[in-house]
Amino acid sequence: MDNSQEAMVTLRGTDQVLRELSTSGSADSLVDLTNITKNEDVSVYELHIEDHTVAGLLYTEAGNRVTLLATSVFPEFRGKGLAGKLLRGVLDMLRTEGRTVTLTCPFATAFVHSHPEYADVVDPSFPGNAHSRRHGRH
């Protein structure tokens, strides 16, 4: 991992996750400027605004299943709903590819709980934290 990725803030606290989820709609003005890439060298889905990496989602792969490990956002881009935009894009991409996910990332778990339209992407045999309400909304 390069120094810029080490500076990302990992979303893991319940309050932090809920704050980010509550602002997930505010990234709409950035829709035309963002894109998501899969950086296989470091196993990170990356969200870019123009040519700047602003957020990342660490993953592992086992066959057709992708385990979502941790979501990170660079501090200067926090609070803009970009982590939610990244999760939405990755889950849409994986659904299109016919792949499933295992959730170990607390933010991804909370995101799926808040967006039940993504429940079909969660691997029924290996859901990870998908059934945990610990980090989701109650």
Give the model's pLDDT for residue 86: 96
For residues 118 and 109, is the Cβ–Cβ distance under 8 A? no
Q: What is the pTM of this model?
A: 0.74
For residues 95 and 121, is the Cβ–Cβ distance under 8 A? yes
Helix (H, G, I), strand (E, B) or coil at 2: coil
DSSP 129: G
For residues 36 and 93, is the Cβ–Cβ distance under 8 A? yes
Helix (H, G, I), strand (E, B) or coil at 111: helix
Give the model's pLDDT for residue 13: 43
Q: Going residue by residue through the chain (138 aa), what tens digit of pLDDT does each one get?
A: 444 445 555 544 444 444 554 554 444 444 456 799 999 999 999 999 888 899 999 999 999 999 999 999 999 999 999 999 999 999 999 999 999 999 999 999 999 999 999 999 999 999 998 765 544 333
